Amino acid sequence: MKITYLNSQEIAERIGKILNKPINIMDENGRIVASTDVSRIGDIHTGAKELIEKNAYEIDIYPGDDLEGSKNGINVPIHIGGKTIGVIGVTGNPDELRDISIVIGEMAGIMYMKTEESLQNENIARQKRIFCEELLFSPPQPSNAMAISVFQDRAYELRFPINRIKAVGVFTLKDVISGAEQLSIDDKLISMLRGKLGDSIYIHHHYVGQKLIVFFDFNRDSFAVEAINDIVSQLSEQSDSDIYCGLSLGINSFVNVHQAYLNAEKAALIAAKRRDRKIQIYEDLSLEIILTQIPQDAVNTFVANIFKGMSREAIKDTVDFLNIYFEENGSLDGIAKKIFIHKNTVQYKIKKVIDCTGYDPRKAEDGLVLLLACKLAARMF
């Protein structure tokens, strides 16, 4: 480890505050790289240089000692892994400081080891972020065996279990909120997912813009789908924010994660339009896969043509009724029971749909038009 100002100034200030004494930290050449007296940074500390050259365990400097760039005090080596990486000096009376000289050196060594560990962790986290970006957006091609092998080796070095990934989840918010609020919600969501699903299912998470991407290890018949729906619903209520999740399941190879991510992203957009659930599984979609590809301008025109002359509120009420109509397959008894009205009222509502739109949901072709109109109208509310 190389001692520099960036990794040393905070250590000098912390030890100086603990001891209430001036502190200097010198590199392997005896140059002061950090100090509670910033005016000394860059000077050569002759005492530290001599200590390193002689491999001494301590150098005490008294007033009158002819050591350029040095003041009275004690200087002890900083060791990491049995190697001297620098020197720490405390200004003061050496006779008063000698009893704590070893402790000072050990304290500095421990702080540097923690700093080095922190830097290593940051480097690993950065490498994992880069790896996730490649996994999501540019994985190796299935036909390129060499690239796949190299990718797997990188995953092994990063302890990233890519072969366990069976599902990808995209979590998103319906409304734009501040960065701090977003981070708070994401932290709670990650904590709840890990707590409920455990590390055997929850693999890793990654951020893409304001979207939270999570890699999971579960199949369709797992309890995890309902658990995720419960978590998202609960957190949406707690945070007063609409949170939605799109899932893509059945990943049989990490090279398919990219497509699964794109699918989960589409499913998340569709989930945001639904009212009965907070999550949507891409593999359960049918018409929605095609409908999401239609430009919004075309959607607006089509919906306006079907519900011509109707107010936004009237369209919404009609769509709500038609959704229930299609869910109950046109059963008058089923519809009446679902929305707590008499069958005669259901027939009245059907007639009203016919009068307002010119389409009869009881007829196959008209019903298909109205079904498409309802699904597209969901993108407008």
**Residue 133 in domain:** no
The CA R_g of the chain, rounded to the nearest whole Å, is 33
Number of separate domains in the chain: 3
The token pair that represents 78 in the structure block: 């900083």
pLDDT tens, 92-118? Answer: 999 888 888 888 888 888 888 888 777
- What's the pLDDT at 1? 72
Please provide residue 65's backbone torsions phi and psi, each rounded to the nearest 5 degrees.
Answer: -65, 135
- What's the pLDDT at 281? 92
pLDDT tens, 183-226? Answer: 889 999 999 999 999 988 999 999 988 899 999 999 887 899 99
Q: Which of 291, 312, 338 is the last residue of a domain?
A: 291
CATH of the domain at 338: 1.10.10.2840
**Residue 156 in domain:** no
3-state secondary structure 248-294: ECCCCCHHHHHHHHHHHHHHHHHHCCCCCCCEEEHHHCCHHHHHCCC
- What's the pLDDT at 133? 93
Give 378 or 232, the one with higher predicted confidence: 232
CATH of the domain at 30: 3.30.450.40
Q: Which of 263, 291, 319 is the last residue of a domain?
A: 291
Q: What is the pTM of this model?
A: 0.64
Amino acid at 357: T
Of all residues in the chain, the percent with pLDDT exceeding 70 is 99
Please state the separation of Cα 93 from the chain's center in Å. Answer: 52
Residue 300 and residue 360 share a domain: yes
What distance in Å separates the CA atoms of residue 41 and residue 30, rounded to the nearest whole number? 11
CB count in 10 Å sphere of residue 359: 19
Average pLDDT along the chain: 90
What distance in Å separates the CA atoms of residue 244 and residue 294, rounded to the nearest whole number? 21
Residue 345 and residue 272 share a domain: no
The token pair that represents 53 in the structure block: 């050259």
Q: Say if residues 281 and 229 touch (Cβ distance below 8 Å).
A: no
Residue 260 and residue 306 share a domain: no
State the average pLDDT over residues 319-329: 94
| Cross-strand pairs, 32 | 26
Residue 278 and residue 300 share a domain: no
Burial track 35-47 (b if 16+ CB lie within 10 A, e otherwise) = bbeeebbebebbb
Residue 242 and residue 305 share a domain: no
pLDDT value at 136 more than 80: yes
- What's the pLDDT at 202? 92
- What's the pLDDT at 276? 61
pLDDT value at 275 more than 70: no
Residue 11 and residue 104 share a domain: yes
What distance in Å separates the CA atoms of residue 258 and residue 260, rounded to the nearest whole number? 5
Please give the residue range of the domain that contains residue 167. 163-291
CB count in 10 Å sphere of residue 26: 30
Alpha-carbon distances, residue 240 vs 207, 233, 342 (angstroms): 22, 10, 36
**Residue 178 in domain:** yes
The token pair that represents 131 in the structure block: 């790896």
| Cross-strand pairs, 245 | 171, 279
Q: Say if residues 328 and 334 touch (Cβ distance below 8 Å).
A: yes
pLDDT value at 119 more than 80: no
What distance in Å separates the CA atoms of residue 231 and residue 277, rounded to the nearest whole number? 12
pLDDT tens, 278-317? Answer: 889 999 888 777 787 788 899 999 999 999 999 999 999 9
- What's the pLDDT at 123? 85
pLDDT tens, 21-63? Answer: 999 999 999 999 999 999 999 999 999 999 999 988 899 999 8
Amino acid at 295: P
Residue 302 and residue 266 share a domain: no
Alpha-carbon distances, residue 367 vs 27, 167, 326, 338 (angstroms): 80, 35, 9, 20
**271: Cβ contacts below 8 Å, ≥ 6 apart:** 244, 245, 246, 277, 278, 279, 280
Residue 259 and residue 287 share a domain: yes
Q: Name which of 181, 194, 263, 274 is nearest 231 in CA terms.
A: 194
Give strand ranges (E) for 122-266: 167-173, 202-208, 211-216, 243-248
**Residue 224 in domain:** yes
Q: Say if residues 75 and 61 touch (Cβ distance below 8 Å).
A: yes
State the average pLDDT over residues 326-337: 94
State the average pLDDT over residues 162-184: 87
What distance in Å separates the CA atoms of residue 357 and residue 319, rounded to the nearest whole number? 12
pLDDT band at 274 (very low <50, low <70, confident <90, very high): low
Query: Parallel, antiparallel, or unpaired: how do β-strands 279-281 and 243-248 relate?
Result: parallel
Residue 244 and residue 328 share a domain: no
